[in-house]
Amino acid sequence: MKRSLSSVCGCMLFGALGCASLGSHADHSMTASQVEDSCDGLDSTVREQRLLGDQFEVRSSRALYTRSGKQMTRRPVGVQFSVAPRRGIDSVWLERAARCHMNQHAAAAARGEPASADDPLSIEGAEVRVRDSQGYYILQLTSRHPATARRLAEYADQHSD
């Protein structure tokens, strides 16, 4: 009984990981029209200039970690940026602009273009979330995939204050 239960669990885990892998691949093979839809209504300068650093001042960045297991091992999950606000811009708009940039990078990667080393929005497999926090925006890039989460955390370590 124990053996068959572990086999079933293993098959379920393999199936879940397989689905995640397929979903991840689909995210990075975006068509030009899908990218255009995600960027619809955004000014061309927003689309063309680097969002973090050029258009929005990054006040600070830090790696995000979670603790797991019996030994409470620290595991990277992403990066967090504290972003200075701009007049007329809210967190919803900033998140939409970040998704636009991420989709543009994904489409470029699908065409075989190299990722931008100085733009964390170019890291494939990241998810974005933006919220308001005491006069700043908190922009978080996270991933459930360990290798992607490590790359995001390393970006913070290399570019922190």
Q: What is the mean pLDDT of residues 94-113?
A: 91
> Does 52 lie in the same domain as 127?
yes
- Domains contained in the chain, number: 2
Q: How far apart are CA 100 and CA 110, in angstroms?
A: 15
3-state secondary structure of 137: strand
> Does 1 lie in the same domain as 69?
no
* Contact (Cβ atoms closer than 8 angstroms) between residue 78 and residue 141: yes
> Does 87 lie in the same domain as 25?
no
Q: How far apart are CA 39 and CA 154, in angstroms?
A: 28
Instruction: Tell me the whole-structure pTM to 2 decimals.
Output: 0.74
Over residues 30-63, the pLDDT tens digits come to 666 777 778 888 888 888 888 888 889 999 999 9
Q: How far apart are CA 91 and CA 33, in angstroms?
A: 25
Please report which confidence band the pLDDT of residue 160 belongs to, taking 50, 70 and 90 as the band edges: low
Task: Note down the domain range covering 18.
Answer: 1-29
> Does 43 lie in the same domain as 21?
no
Please report which confidence band the pLDDT of residue 111 belongs to, taking 50, 70 and 90 as the band edges: confident
> Does 151 lie in the same domain as 88?
yes
> Does 148 lie in the same domain as 77?
yes
Residue 69: pLDDT over 50:
yes
Residue type at 37 in one-letter notation: D
Q: What is the pLDDT of residue 36?
A: 76
> Does 65 lie in the same domain as 2?
no
3-state secondary structure of 88: coil
Which residues, listed in sequence order, are joined to residue 129 by a DSSP beta bridge? 140
Q: What is the mean pLDDT of residues 69-78?
A: 87
> Does 87 lie in the same domain as 24?
no
What share of residues in the chain are helix, strand, coil (percent, to 5)?
45, 25, 30
Q: What percent of the chain has pLDDT over 90?
A: 43
Over residues 136-147, the pLDDT tens digits come to 999 999 999 999
Site of tokens 């990667």: 109
Residue 99: pLDDT over 80:
yes
> Does 94 lie in the same domain as 45?
yes
Over residues 16-26, the pLDDT tens digits come to 333 333 333 33
20 vs 70: which has the higher pLDDT: 70
